[in-house]
C-alpha cells in the first residue's frame, strides 16, 4: 500500500490561503450579480444586499471551504477542479445564513468587528419603538437570502454531494434548536451539551465539509456513511 507523508504546517497554511482567495472571489462575483439584479427591484436609496455582502466579505478564516478542499483532494480530486470552489462557496453561504440568524437570536451587537446586520437596519429606522423589530426582520430576510443562494449553487453539484450537504445542514439547525432549548431550561448535563456542540458546530465545520469534499470527488464509501 502506498503511503503519503502528512502535509506540513506551511503546506496547510498555503492551502488555506488559496482556498480563501478562490472562495472570496467567487462570493464577490455572486454578490456583484445579485446586487445588480436586486437594484432594479428595490430601487434607489435601499441598502439592498449591501449589509449581507459586507458581512460575507468582512473576513473569516474560510475553514469550512478548506475542509471541503482537503476532503476532495484526499479522495482523489484535482485541487484545481472548479467544483471544489463552488462547494466551498456553498458551505460558506450556509455559514453566513447561520451567523446572521444566530446574531438575531443572541442579540449580538457586533460581528467581525462591525455592527451586526440587525443593528445596522435598526439604526436606519426612524419610528420610535419599532427599530429593533425592524432590524431583526430585515436580518432574518437577508439570512434567508443567503440560504436560498446557497441551495441554488448546490444544484450544480452531484446528487451524492447534495445529500451530504442536506444532512449536515439539518444537523446544524437541530443543534441550534437544542442550544436554544437548553438555554430555556438549565441546568444542562454534559451529554446534552456535547450533543449540541457536535450538531451545531462539529458536524458542519469539520465532518460535514470533509464528507462533502469526498463525495464530490466520488468517494462512495465515505459519503455513504451519511
219 pLDDT band, cuts 50/70/90, is low
Q: What is the mean pLDDT of residues 192-196?
A: 88
The predicted model scores a pTM of 0.90
pLDDT tens, position by position, 135-189: 999 999 999 999 999 999 999 999 999 999 999 999 999 999 999 998 888 787 8
Indicate the pLDDT class of residue 7, thresholds 50, 70 and 90: low
**What's the pLDDT at 96?**
97
**What average pLDDT does the chain have?**
90
CATH label, 10-223, candidates 3.30.1330.30, 3.30.70.360, 1.10.600.10, 3.40.50.10490: 1.10.600.10
Domain boundaries, the chain: 10-223
Residue (of 54, 64, 203, 58) closest to 142 by Cα position: 54
User: Residue 4: pLDDT above 60?
Assistant: no
What pLDDT score was predicted for residue 1? 42
Amino acid at each position: 500500500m502506498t503511503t503519503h507523508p502528512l502535509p506540513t504546517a506551511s503546506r496547510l497554511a498555503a492551502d488555506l490561503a488559496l482556498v480563501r482567495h478562490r472562495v472570496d472571489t467567487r462570493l464577490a462575483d455572486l454578490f456583484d450579480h445579485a446586487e445588480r439584479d436586486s437594484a432594479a427591484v428595490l430601487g434607489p436609496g435601499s441598502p439592498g444586499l449591501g449589509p449581507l455582502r459586507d458581512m460575507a466579505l468582512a473576513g473569516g478564516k474560510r475553514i469550512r471551504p478548506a475542509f471541503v478542499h482537503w476532503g476532495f483532494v484526499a479522495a482523489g480530486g484535482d485541487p484545481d477542479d472548479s467544483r471544489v470552489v463552488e462547494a466551498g462557496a456553498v458551505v460558506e453561504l450556509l455559514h453566513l445564513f447561520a451567523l446572521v440568524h444566530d446574531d438575531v437570536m443572541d442579540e449580538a451587537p457586533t460581528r467581525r468587528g462591525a455592527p451586526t446586520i440587525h443593528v445596522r437596519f435598526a439604526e436606519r429606522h426612524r419610528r420610535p419603538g419599532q427599530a429593533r423589530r425592524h432590524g431583526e426582520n430585515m436580518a432574518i430576510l437577508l439570512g434567508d437570502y443567503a440560504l436560498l443562494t446557497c441551495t441554488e449553487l448546490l444544484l450544480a453539484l452531484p446528487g451524492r454531494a447534495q445529500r451530504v450537504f442536506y444532512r449536515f445542514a439539518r444537523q446544524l439547525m437541530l443543534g441550534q434548536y437544542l442550544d436554544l432549548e437548553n438555554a430555556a431550561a438549565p441546568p444542562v448535563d454534559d451529554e446534552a451539551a456535547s450533543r449540541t456542540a457536535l450538531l451545531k458546530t462539529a458536524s458542519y465545520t469539520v465532518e460535514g465539509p470533509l464528507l462533502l469534499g469526498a463525495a464530490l470527488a466520488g468517494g462512495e464509501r465515505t459519503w455513504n456513511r451519511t
